[in-house]
Amino acid sequence: MTNDNIFSGLKVVDLASFIAGPSAAVILSDFGAEVIKVEPPSGDLWRHGHQIPPQPRAKDAYPWHLANRNKRGIALDLKSPSAQQVLEKLVKWADVLIVNTPHPARKRLKLEYEDVVHWNPRLIYADVTGFGDNGPDAELPGFDITSYWARSGLLSMTRDAGAPPTWPVAGSGDNATAVGLYSAIVTALYRRERTGNGSHVTTSLLAEGIWSASVSIQAALSGAEFYGLHDRKNPANAAFNVYRAADDTWFLLVVTPDKLAAVAKAIGRTDLLTDPRFSDPVKLVANMPQLTAVLDEVFAAQPMAHWAEVFSSVHVTFGAVRGPEEVINDPQLRMNDIVVPLEGAGGKLTSTISSPIQVHGVSKVPAKRAPEIGEHNDEVLKELGFDTKAIERLRAGGAIGKITEPATLAAKPGERPAPASKPNQPAVKA
């Protein structure tokens, strides 16, 4: 594989916070882009993500490194009058600027596209919001659990009949949105190659959630008749259902019509093909609970390893349900560079998750730890043209800062850890 990184020389300023925007920058960095992470002197609140229940607790700031690896970091108080001169130089330096500050705060900070594009007409201004740029809720802050999951309909559909909506997996909507934002940035870069012009590109957690739920949303747009929420014991289709093996492993089974006879033979129940309760299509629909009960009994007789062998022998799609502690031991992850080494983070944090995009023949940049607050202030500012005296003036005026030991107050159950001081960048968690 070649070490000629695709985005070598591409300059990115990441002004976003939490997950979606920063993760889009991570994907660019994986392919060689130079990324400067800008956060307030108090630090991005996501630095404390590993201490906020119900996030899994750890000593190492694993969410921070995941969303901010490979970046240099500066601490900039955008509310400071002298911060504008730093922002101007950053925009002039950048090819891509990523922002997720809510628009009301963005206007006050003079951070809108119209505020900065005159400094750099070739700039790709990448904007991620909770609910989109227009409409009655355009200015609302959004989290992936509210915008991507709840508002899109996904949360209402990802549960069994009779069960209340559950709490979705943290960051899942954010990271899907990050891939969408990355795609918008790359599309704009391609346009710039053809026209020489920069672009203002955007996506939202809501748009990405609707896209993820689009089969069902399109069905609603088409006036389709819905079966209702999934009921495992009375499914719409017993061949598309969840079952449990003898070792208590749950698994998803997807048997297409052309595979029914082969599966019935493989599990030793060819009688099901001629059973009058199931062989007639009309009766089959009425007797789905009975067929499910039969299959429950069959699958409960053998462990998952047995059924994996059986299903594989007839090329049937299935998936054992695994928890995070099991997933990390799956050999597929390392053999496909899904999990890769992480350099320099310390503690137990020696591996991280690579972005889900691979270009055959091109290797990614080795993953390196995320920056400390303001770690590269002087280095970056000197590259932007500030001399030592100018940097000291910025520091004395409060425009830049560094916290050598960030305040990571331990949270009691149900509480959020307090930042060192009130952050200057109100953020959409996007």
What is the per-residue pLDDT across 212-226, written as a single tens digit (0 to 9) for each? 999 999 999 999 999
Do 70 and 89 fall within a single domain? yes
Do 297 and 334 fall within a single domain? no
DSSP β-ladder status, 351-353 and 339-343 = antiparallel
Rounded mean pLDDT, 376-384? 97
Residue 229 has pLDDT above 90, yes or no: yes
Distance (Å) of CA 90 to CA 27, 84, 212, 347: 20, 10, 34, 33
Phi first, then psi: give them for residue 301, nearest 5 degrees: -90, -15
Do 58 and 82 fall within a single domain? yes
Indicate the SS3 state at residue 39: strand
Distance (Å) of CA 330 to CA 310, 335, 340: 20, 9, 13
What is the per-residue pLDDT across 131-146, written as a single tens digit (0 to 9) for each? 999 999 999 889 999 9
Question: pLDDT confidence of 3, banded at 50, 70, 90?
Answer: low
Residue 406 domain flag: no
Residue 392 domain flag: yes
Cβ pair 430, 181 in contact under 8 A:
no
Residue 79 domain flag: yes
Q: How many CB atoms lie within 10 A of CB 83?
A: 21
Q: What is the predicted pLDDT for the residue at 5?
A: 87
Distance (Å) of CA 348 to CA 38, 60, 328, 342, 352: 26, 7, 14, 10, 11
- Give residue 290's domain range: 250-320
Q: What is the predicted pLDDT for the residue at 417?
A: 36
Rounded to whole angstroms, the Cα distance separating 188 from 389 reads 38
Residue 267 has pLDDT above 50, yes or no: yes
Rounded to whole angstroms, the Cα distance separating 106 from 138 reads 13
Cβ pair 133, 102 in contact under 8 A:
no
How many domains is the chain built from? Answer: 2
Q: What is the predicted pLDDT for the residue at 384?
A: 97
Rounded to whole angstroms, the Cα distance separating 427 from 15 reads 10
Read off the pTM. 0.90
Q: What is the predicted pLDDT for the residue at 1?
A: 57
Question: pLDDT confidence of 413, banded at 50, 70, 90?
Answer: very low
Q: Taking all residues of the chain, what is their mean pLDDT, rounded to a whole number?
A: 92
Q: Which of 390, 21, 346 is nearest to 175 (CA)?
A: 21
Q: What is the predicted pLDDT for the residue at 415?
A: 34
Of 320, 342, 368, the one marking the end of a domain is: 320
Question: pLDDT confidence of 401, banded at 50, 70, 90?
Answer: confident
- Partners of 242 in the β-ladder: 252
Rounded mean pLDDT, 267-295? 96
CATH classification of the domain holding 382:
3.40.50.10540
Q: What is the predicted pLDDT for the residue at 4?
A: 73
What is the per-residue pLDDT across 90-132, written as a single tens digit (0 to 9) for each? 999 999 999 999 999 999 999 999 999 999 999 999 999 999 9
Residue 70 domain flag: yes
Question: pLDDT confidence of 402, banded at 50, 70, 90?
Answer: low
What is the per-residue pLDDT across 184-210, written as a single tens digit (0 to 9) for each? 999 999 999 999 999 999 999 999 999
Do 207 and 284 fall within a single domain? no
Do 357 and 285 fall within a single domain? no
What is the per-residue pLDDT across 84-95, written as a single tens digit (0 to 9) for each? 999 999 999 999
What is the per-residue pLDDT across 302-314, written as a single tens digit (0 to 9) for each? 999 999 999 999 9
Please report, rounded to a whole number, the percentage of residues in the chain having pLDDT higher than 90: 90
